[in-house]
Amino acid sequence: MANSKVIAVTGATGSQGGGLARAILADPSGGFACRAITRDPNKDKARELAAKGAEVVRADMDDVESLKKAFAGAHGVYCVTNFWEHFSAEKEKTQAKDMADAARAAGAKHVIWSTLEDTRTLMSPGDTRMPMLQGKYRVPHFDGKAEADAYFSDLPVTYLVTSFYWDNIYMFGMAPKKGDDGVYGWTFPMSDKKLAGIAAEDIGKVAYGIFKAGQQYIGKTVGITGENLTLTEISDKLAKGLGVRVKYNAVEPDAYRSFGFPGADEMGNMFQIYRDFEKEVLGARSRDAARSLNPSLQNFDQWLALNKSKIHLD
Ligand SMILES: NC(=O)c1ccc[n+]([C@@H]2O[C@H](COP(=O)([O-])OP(=O)(O)OC[C@H]3O[C@@H](n4cnc5c(N)ncnc54)[C@H](OP(=O)(O)O)[C@@H]3O)[C@@H](O)[C@H]2O)c1
């Protein structure tokens, strides 16, 4: 441990960073040590990482000086923002810039920036099929991250393009809801197109693979997926795994955007991008690349077998 290279992990108490932290800690002879960054070292998830051997350090993405202290001496830095805490692409970009600046100040040898593609490149600015949001974005949590790529460009960086977590099914209340007919239904504006999905835990395992591989991934973009499935395929797999009937209702994106829950417009635009630009979105993500970096990469059925107890149907 004493000679291990430190990887400072933002979001360590969350899905992506947590997966990376656990991957580092599960491989004590791998040559890396985990510095888990959180605003609250006393929270349960931080204590769990400390109990497994992580160095837990307090820092706030809204305070660049705290990031500089937290990244000091680190060989590697994993940078992930949490758009869903504030819903602001501008704030997400500021947090990304502060993390890039702090990684630069620390002289980090390898930085991974968890990013997404700029969906605006897929359509002309005058395209009216979906609204612009927050003034100049199609999908703010994608486009803001893509704009933030530039903050990292002079660093030894790997851009990690992630996919939709299947874990959203239990984490964000996306699970199918029981109808009067006893059939569980859920609604997406995805038509019969495939969704690139992944077990959230696998993102961190891929990131660990990138840090282990080192130099060869610097300056590269790595897009990852666990499995690409239509919503009908996912519904059938859920039905089989959970022992209930599940029906996917396909709606138009305009209908989805009007549902009114926080972020409905953003999610509607995102799913419409997945639907209208299936080839581009799937083409930017590779299962083979993910599996080569994380040999235990799960497919949907494997993820479901491990996580079905977390899915509460009502
Ligand atoms: N859900 C999906 O399907 C999906 C797919 C692709 C990409 N993403 C992207 O993933 C990102 C979120 O990552 P996640 O799912 O791993 O997050 P998460 O599980 O929701 O956890 C959020 C993490 O961010 C940390 N954090 C948030 N604000 C912070 C701040 N101001 N200072 C320090 N730490 C802060 C939290 O740490 P503490 O609270 O402990 O401080 C926590 O560890 C989003 O930007 C989203 O766009 C999500």
| 307 Cβ inside 6 Å of ligand 1 | no
Neighbours of 231 (CB within 10 A): 22
Q: Is the pLDDT of residue 1 over 70?
A: no
Nearest alpha carbon to residue 87 among 134, 47, 31: 134
Q: Express each pLDDT in 251-307 by its tens digit.
A: 999 999 999 999 999 999 999 999 999 999 999 999 999 999 999 999 999 999 999
> Would you state the structure tokens that stand for residue 283, as one six-digit string?
């083409």
Q: Please give the average per-residue pLDDT across 180-190, as a whole number.
A: 97
Q: From ligand 1's centre to the CA of 80, what distance in Å?
A: 6
| 62 Cβ inside 6 Å of ligand 1 | yes
Atom of ligand 1 nearest to the CA of 12: 43
Atom of ligand 1 nearest to the CA of 164: 3
| 162 Cβ inside 6 Å of ligand 1 | yes
Atom of ligand 1 nearest to the CA of 162: 6
Atom of ligand 1 nearest to the CA of 81: 45
Q: Please give the average per-residue pLDDT across 162-180, as a whole number.
A: 95
Q: Please give the average per-residue pLDDT across 194-209, as a whole number.
A: 98
Atom of ligand 1 nearest to the CA of 11: 43
By the 8 A CB rule, do 139 and 270 touch?
Answer: yes
Q: Please give the average per-residue pLDDT across 196-200, as a whole number.
A: 98
| 66 Cβ inside 6 Å of ligand 1 | no
Beta bridge partners of 151: none
Q: Whose CA is nearest to atom 22 of ligand 1?
A: 14
| 225 Cβ inside 6 Å of ligand 1 | no
Question: Confidence class of residue 313 from pLDDT cuts 50, 70 and 90?
Answer: confident
| 11 Cβ inside 6 Å of ligand 1 | yes
Q: Express each pLDDT in 55-98 by its tens digit.
A: 999 999 999 999 999 999 999 999 999 999 999 999 999 999 99
| 165 Cβ inside 6 Å of ligand 1 | yes
Ligand 1 pocket, mutate which of 60, 65, 82 (most atoms under 8 A from CB): 82
Instruction: Report the C-alpha gap between 145 and 96 in whole angstroms.
Output: 8
| 292 Cβ inside 6 Å of ligand 1 | no
Q: Please give the average per-residue pLDDT across 139-153, as a whole number.
A: 98
Q: From ligand 1's centre to the CA of 15, what distance in Å?
A: 7
Instruction: Report the C-alpha gap between 243 and 257 in whole angstroms.
Output: 31
Which pTM does this prediction carry? 0.98
Instruction: Report the C-alpha gap between 205 and 202 in whole angstroms.
Output: 5
Q: Whose CA is nearest to atom 24 of ligand 1?
A: 11
Q: Is the pLDDT of residue 3 over 90?
A: no
Residue pointed to by tokens 């360590």: 12
By the 8 A CB rule, do 133 and 87 touch?
Answer: no
Neighbours of 82 (CB within 10 A): 16
pLDDT at 287: 98
Question: Treating both helix axes as pointing N-terminal to C-terminal, what angle do 89-106 and 64-71 enclose, rounded to 10 degrees?
Answer: 40
Q: Give the list of residues 6+ apart from residue 93 with CB closer than 8 angstroms, or none.
A: 144, 147, 148, 151
Arithmetic mean of pLDDT over the chain: 97
Query: Phi and psi for 56 in degrees, rounded to 5?
Result: -100, 125
| 176 Cβ inside 6 Å of ligand 1 | no
CA separation (Å) from 209 to 33, 112, 167, 213, 290? 14, 11, 21, 6, 9
Q: Give the list of residues 6+ apart from residue 293 with CB closer than 8 angstroms, or none.
A: 205, 206, 209, 210, 213, 222, 224
Nearest alpha carbon to residue 12 among 149, 294, 39: 39
Q: From ligand 1's centre to the CA of 243, what distance in Å?
A: 32
| 186 Cβ inside 6 Å of ligand 1 | no
CA separation (Å) from 126 to 30, 189, 254, 289? 51, 22, 17, 35
Query: Which DSSP state fits 74?
Result: -
Question: Confidence class of residue 8 from pLDDT cuts 50, 70 and 90?
Answer: very high
